[in-house]
Amino acid sequence: MNASLEQLADLLAQGKASSVELCQDYLDRIERHNPRLNAFITVDRERTLAEAADADARRAAGQAGRLTGVPIAHKDIFCAEGWPTTCGSRMLANFVSPYDAHVISQFKAAGMPCLGKTNMDEFAMGSSNETSWFGPVKNPWDARAVPGGSSGGAAAAVAARLCPAATGTDTGGSIRQPAALTGITGLKPTYGVVSRYGMIAFASSLDQGGPMAPSAADCALLMNVMAGFDARDSTSLERAPEDYARDLAQPLKGLRIGLPREFFGEGMAPDVAQAIQAALAEYRRLGAETVEVSLPNMDLSVPVYYVLAPAEASSNLSRYDGVRYGYRAAEYRDLLDMYEKTRADGFGAEVKRRIMIGTYVLSHGYYDAYYIQAQKIRRLIAQDFVEAFKACDVIMGPTAPTTAFDLGAKVADPVQMYLSDIYTIAVNLAGLPGMSIPCGFGADSRPIGLQIIGDYFAEARMLNVAHQYQLATGWHTMLPEGL
């Protein structure tokens, strides 16, 4: 089950396997291993096999695309018609979506059956996948460790090969950080390249969907399906279609890698630093050169993010009131009491914390002092990247400051939890593309990720940079013991 998407597609094209057979194999793996990992919230064998049978029929009729019949899992933040779409929250535990998100419809059009909906931090708020109403996800490399968040279920499922690939979303690092902590490849595209329609909103100016898979080559194929203009999303960018796999084979001679001095100071664990330096040495052997750059406002990215993201969340989550859909408190005196009890019972502690922070910074007397100032600094952070890319083609550094931490280690200390995303948040604030690829293991034998940041719309170049490294190394092919 360690086959790439390309290899699975070849098996189907050559008639050596059917989509139904592939899906049955993955569903059996999910049945065996998910009770231990808790990577999936919803699995519907009958629905998945029906979609697989449709894919086989399309292939038999000569109507198949490249990935028709190859299964995929979806983060439970994407609305999928007929599937429960919970966002990892009690508030939506009984919600069955009546429509498809744009991303889901794109994969349906490509003929890729859905293996299930993956676990996640509640409303994508978390860095460890411990805030889910459905329980924490376990890291396949070490069940005592977190897989990262908020796309931790998708990351764990891919790392354990319970699915060949999955969708995720990234608001402040929620694709890249779990990809790093579980030893897989994850890409956050340029803001607006993948439609947010039907993707349940956390922070609308930061949220972006993207692919999670073992390799960069896999992510390129998934981007060819996911990306595209959608008129239903006002932030979707109308651009000509592109082949994200077009540059994979290009050599790296002459590539300029920017190393921000702010990424390589205090805070990075020694074993992470060692793995990152070894990866950079490999890039130099492949013909790249490294140059020092600076992102002087990066240290402000975490406080800026935790003003802006909660502000947008407090607005987006106001729709969950128990009136139209989702959870409703069983007993209440009047409408106001129903609102209060429904939201008190339906939301978890982290979601409540962020709603309260967001409401505070948007309130009269604090809007100018906090929200407006944060937006000004956000512009400075974006400008820092513009200046840095004048001297380099891509920026590299660690994805996370440490390997995966133990379950429960940071639950009682939100600030320490928030610092898990210290290297990833600035990318979202600037709207840039970023990705994480596996580059080794720490002293605790847990995976380490190398972050690659590109200029706007440089996804194909980043995938090329990642792919060439993966051709020269084998980190992305390694599997957790027993899986």
The catalytic residue positions are: 75, 150, 174
| Cα(358)–Cα(304) distance, integer angstroms | 12
Q: Where are any strands of DSSP class E within 66-173?
A: 72-75, 114-118, 166-169
| Cα(322)–Cα(466) distance, integer angstroms | 45
Q: What are the distances in angstroms from CA 149 to CA 75, 90, 399? A: 11, 18, 13
Q: What are the distances in angstroms from CA 33 to CA 182, 184, 355, 470? A: 16, 18, 35, 27
| Cα(200)–Cα(121) distance, integer angstroms | 13
Residue 365 makes CB contacts below 8 A (sequence gap 6+) with none
**Which amino acid, residue 315?**
S
Q: What are the distances in angstroms from CA 378 to CA 205, 375, 423? A: 12, 5, 15
Closest Cα partner for 217 from 431, 8, 24?
8
Bridge partners, 257 (sequence order): 290, 394
- Whether residue 70 contacts residue 19, with contact meaning beta carbons closer than 8 Å, is answered with yes
Prior bond to 150 cis, omega within 30?
A: yes
Kindly list the strands in the beta sheet with 447-454, ordered across the sheet, starting from the edge strand earlier in the chain.
40-42, 114-118, 72-75, 166-169, 209-213, 185-188, 434-441, 447-454, 394-398, 256-260, 289-293
- Whether residue 264 contacts residue 397, with contact meaning beta carbons closer than 8 Å, is answered with yes
Q: Where are any strands of DSSP class E within 381-474?
A: 394-398, 434-441, 447-454
Helix (H) or strand (E) holding 378: helix 373-388
Residue 166 makes CB contacts below 8 A (sequence gap 6+) with 72, 73, 74, 75, 118, 151, 154, 155, 157, 158, 211, 212, 213
Residue 391 makes CB contacts below 8 A (sequence gap 6+) with 256, 258, 291, 293
Closest Cα partner for 58 from 105, 99, 12?
12
Got the DSSP string for 251-296?
A: --TTPEEEEEGGGGSTTS-HHHHHHHHHHHHHHHHTT-EEEEE--T
